[in-house]
Amino acid sequence: MATRSISQSARTVTPRAVGDDTQSSSVRALVFLRDRGIIVLWLFLVLVFSIWAAPYFFSLANAALVANAAALTAIFAAAVAFGVLSGALDLSVPGSATMGSVVGATVLTAGAPAVVGIAAALATGVVIGTVNGVLVQRGLNPLVVTIGMLTVLGGLAQVVAGGVPINGITQLNFMGSISYFGIPAPVIVVAIIFLIGTLFLTQTRAGGRLMAVGTNAEAVRRVGVSANKYRIIGFILSATVAAVGGLTVTATTTQASPNPSVALLFSALTAVALSGMPLTGGRGSLPRVLVGALIIATISSALVIKGVPPYVATIVTGVLLVAALAFDRVMSSAVAKRLVPTSASADPEPVGPPAIDAVPAAATTATER
C-alpha cells in the first residue's frame, strides 16, 4: 500500500546493544570522523602550511588566491555531487562545461546581451542533462552513457567553435575577473550555487526524494514515487551547474575553449570523495564538498609558494582521491560492523540521514494523492 513508509522498505539501523553507551559512543565517533573529519583535516593543513610556507601562505592576499582557485573546483564538484547524490556518477561534466561555455560565447559574439548568453548556456546544460537522464532511464549504464556523452560534447564544441577558442568574451567580466568588496566574483558565484543547492537538498521535498533515490531507488518506487524522474533531475542539475562552471571559466579568462578539461573532472571527483560522499550516492553534504575543494586549493597554493613543480600537485590530487575513497570505505565498514539491520531486507551498507528523513515524506505525499 502507498501508506507504507519507505523507511519500512529501506534499511533502518540501530546499535547492536541499545543500552551500551560505549558502543554508541564509538559509532558516533566513527560517523563524526567519516562525515566531519574533512573539516579537521583542512584546519590541520592550514596550520601546517602556515608554518612550512611562512610568511606568504598565511596572508589575506594568499587567502583570496586560494578562495579564487577553490571556486572553480567547487563549482564542478557541486555538479558531480548532484549526480552522485541521485545515485549516478556523471563523468560528462567537463563536456557539459565546455559545451555550455562555447554556446554561450557564440551567442555573445553574435551581439546578444550577457543575460541571453547565460540563458543559452543554461539551456544547453538542461538539454545535456535530460539526454543523459533519459538514456540511463532506458537501462544503459550511467558510466558508459556519460563517458560517451563527454566524447560527443567535445566533438560538438569543436564544431560550434570552429576548432579554435572563442576569444574576447568580455561581457561576462561581472562574474569572472572583478571583485565585489574585495571578494572575487567566482567566489560569489560559488556561494550562490552552494546556498541554493543546500536549501534545495535539505529544505525541499524534491531534494529529499532525489537523495532517497540515491539511497534506495526501489524503496522509493514502492510508494509510487518516480525514481527515474528524480534521477533525471539529478543529471539536469549536474549538467546545468557544469555549464555555469564553464561560463565562470570563460568569464575569468575571456575565452571559451572547445577542449574539455579532464583535469577539472579529477579535481572535482577528489573534492567530492574528500567530503565523505560515497560515489554510489545517498549520503553527502554540499558544504563539505566545498571544504574538499578548499583542501585541494590549499595544498596547491602551498606547493606553488615553495616552488614545487606543478606536476607534483597533480600527483597529490590523485593520491588524495584514492586515499579518500579508501578512507570512506574503511569508515563505512567500521560503522556497519557496529550496527545491526532491523529489517530482514537490510542492505549491507548503512544509509545516510538525509534519505531516512526524506523517505517518509515521499510516502506521505503518495498517500495524499
Q: How confident is the model at residue 109 (pLDDT cuts 50, 70, 90)?
A: very high
Return the closest-CA partner of residue 134 out of 234, 245, 240, 260.
Answer: 234
Only one residue has cell 579535481, namely 267
Q: What pLDDT score does 220 carry?
A: 84
Q: Is the per-residue pLDDT at 194 higher than 70?
A: yes
pLDDT digits (tens, 9 = 90+) for 22-52: 667 777 777 777 667 788 888 888 999 999 9
Residue-averaged pLDDT of the chain = 83
Model pTM greater than 0.75?
A: yes
Q: Please list, in sequence order, all residues whose beta carbon lies within 8 angstroms of the beta carbon of residue 262, skipping any fewer than 6 positions away.
A: 94
Q: Class for domain 6-368, per CATH?
A: mainly alpha
Preceding omega of 348 cis (within 30 degrees of 0): no
CA max distance for the chain: 70
What is the per-residue burial (b if ≥16 Cβ within 10 Å, else e) of 176-215?
A: beeeeeeebbbbbbbeebbeebbebbeeeeebbbbbbbbb
- Which has more confidence, 41 or 125? 125
**Calpha distance 130→239 (Å, rounded):** 9
Strand-pairing partners, residue 13, are: 341
pLDDT one-digit tens code per residue, 272-305: 988 888 877 767 889 999 999 999 999 888 888 8
> Do residues 50 and 178 make contact, with C-beta atoms less than 8 angstroms apart?
no
H or E, element range at 331: helix 310-337
Split at pLDDT 50, 70, 90, the class of 338 is low
Chain segment 127-165, per-residue pLDDT in tens: 999 999 999 999 899 999 999 999 999 999 999 999 999
pLDDT of residue 318: 83
Burial class (CB in 10 A: 0-12, 13-18, 19+), 322: exposed
**Which of 253, 249, 283, 278 is closest to 263 using CA atoms?**
249
